[in-house]
Amino acid sequence: MKNFISHTDSEREEMLKAVNCKTADDLFKMLPAVIKQFRLANPLSELETQRKIKALAQKNKTGYSSFLGGGVYNKFIPAGVNYIAQRFEFLTAYTPYQPEISQGTLQVIYEYQTMIARLTGMDIANASMYDGASACAEAVLMAHRITKGKKNKALISSRLNPEYISVIKTYCWAQNIEIEWFDDLPENTSDYFCVLVQYPDYYGEIIELNKIEKQDTILIVCANLSALGVIKPPLEADIVAGDIQPLGIAMNFGGPHAGFMACKEVYMRQLPGRLVGRTLDADGNQAFTLTIQTREQHIKREKATSNICSNQSLIALSTALYLSLMGEKGFRQASILSANMAHALSKMLMGKGIRTLNKNFFNEFVIEVNDSDEFLERLKQENILGGIKLDEKHILVCATEMNTEEEIVNYVEAV
């Protein structure tokens, strides 16, 4: 179903037949019976609700040292980020459908775009997206549009974040785009409209982008923005996408986060979502405005590039605040601390006979153990979240500037 055109009657009949229903109402007949199965408590007053929630919260076990990563990172966030972002002027669900009257909101988005473009080395960035997974999936569709559908196969690294892979599969299935997965990039990529790699990849390895030979192919790089404080930006890319969570966004049990997308200027008219530009008003004063509209709310929907219809303005604001408060020096210092902690932990683990599988990594690496479950449980008993289980013998371990030297020593002593 391309271009978001409404379903026809025959298409509705086909879908209903597939789920053994005659009408749309049949889809909801089971709801009353399901609702009766709910064992709902009696209504509570506000005071009683607060007491119950506090009692439930006290059951949580806190105080763990975290070495978890895999796309969601425990990073330092200056206190000023949340203090400013939660001011009433910003803390709103408002979507600026008459945006030019919201100059402050537009300026924040413009500054965010500028920061993302500078970090990634690209010419232009959009006004943020839902998350890193949808940003990567949208990047694949964008590459398909750029190449005008002349080729229909995407070449994607199997070392991409598994959650991102799942979303990309869904997007491409809906657009009838074929996907081929690779561990080692083939020399000839001319049969594919895009190549997508992660930098560093999900397992922490930093690939050498300058060794990727593009043959009439769009190169998409899913980048960890915090890593760009110590490794070079992906200048070889045509499109750079990913998640902004490492830049001032708390882990929040995995969300909400926001995605970013940046590209070379020649491709900017294919960017999905919002784009804020700077201009002059009738009096010659600086003004901000939505520009180069590609959203189905603003143009004919059959010409829209994507149905991504909003941006994560509040979360993008937090990232802009984070980068402003940290500054270039502070941002780089946090990245260096993350790398130093991870490399120190890797070296100490290898000293105890635990093998590290990475050659070049930023702050995540894979270790090989005899039994992943037993290894992680032993650490958990010492209040340490030791990493993400990949399989029975491999664990993805991450360290950031939030980990102390004492935590590193405790980790090694506990294994």
Task: Spell out the SS3 assignment of the chain.
Answer: CCCCCCCCHHHHHHHHHHCCCCCHHHHHCCHHHHHHCCCCCCCCCHHHHHHHHHHHHCCCCCCCEECCCCCCCCCCCCHHHHHHHCCCCCCCCCCCCCHHHCHHHHHHHHHHHHHHHHHHCCCEECCCECCHHHHHHHHHHHHHHHCCCCCCEEEEECCCCHHHHHHHHHHHHHCCCEEEEECCCCCCCCCCCEEEEEECCCCCECCCHHHCCCCCCEEEEEECHHHHHCCCCCCCCCEEEEECCCCCCCCHHHCCCCEEEEECHHHHHHCCCCCEEEEECCCCCEEEEECCCCECCCCCHHHCCECCCCCCHHHHHHHHHHHHHHHHHHHHHHHHHHHHHHHHHHHHHHHCCCEECCCCECCEEEEECCCHHHHHHHHHCCCEECCEECCCCEEEEECCCCCCHHHHHHHHHHC
**50 and 126 fall within a common domain:** no
Window from 108-117, 185-194, 331-340, 366-375 with minimum mean pLDDT: 185-194
pLDDT for position 76: 96
Report the pLDDT value the prediction gives residue 98, as an integer from 0 to 100: 63
pLDDT digits (tens, 9 = 90+) for 79-118: 999 999 998 878 866 555 666 777 888 899 999 999 999 9
Shared domain for 130 and 248, answered yes or no, is yes
Ranking 24-33, 362-371, 392-401 by mean pLDDT, the lowest is 24-33
More confident residue, 116 or 35: 116
pLDDT digits (tens, 9 = 90+) for 172-219: 999 999 999 999 888 888 899 999 999 999 999 999 998 888 888 999
Asked whether residue 355 is assigned to any structural domain, the reply reads yes
Do 87 and 218 lie in one domain? The reply is: yes
Task: Please tell me the predicted confidence (pLDDT) of residue 290.
Answer: 84
Q: Which of 171, 183, 200, 196 shows the shortest CA–CA distance to 73?
A: 200
> So what's the pLDDT on residue 131?
94
Range of the domain at 44: 9-56
CATH number for the domain including 409? 3.90.1150.10
Check pLDDT > 90 for residue 69. yes
pLDDT of residue 184: 86
Domain boundary among 321, 353, 383: 321
Return mean pLDDT, the chain.
91
What per-residue confidence (pLDDT) applies to 214? 81
Is there a single domain that holds both residue 266 and residue 370?
A: no
Within 8 A by CB and 6+ apart from 12, the residues are: 24
15 CA to centre of own chain: 32
Single pTM value for the model? 0.87
Q: In CATH, what number is assigned to the domain containing residue 277?
A: 3.40.640.10
Q: What are the distances in angstroms from CA 206 to CA 211, 215, 398?
A: 12, 22, 14
Q: What is the mean pLDDT of residues 9-26?
A: 91
Same domain, 85 and 51: no
- Does residue 197 share a domain with residue 273? yes
Reported as a pLDDT band with limits 50, 70 and 90, residue 1 is: very low
The more confidently predicted of residues 306 and 44 is 44
Same domain? For 200 and 280 the reply is yes
Find the range with the poorest average confidence among 25-34, 296-305, 344-353: 296-305
- Checking if the pLDDT of 230 tops 70, the result is yes
pLDDT of residue 300: 65
Query: What average pLDDT does range 227-233 have in this prediction?
Result: 96
| Same-domain check for residues 241 and 312 | yes
pLDDT of residue 48: 96
Q: What is the number of structural domains in the chain?
A: 3
209, 317: one domain:
yes
Residue 301: is its pLDDT beyond 80? no
Q: Are residues 212 and 267 in the same domain?
A: yes
Domain presence at residue 383 = yes
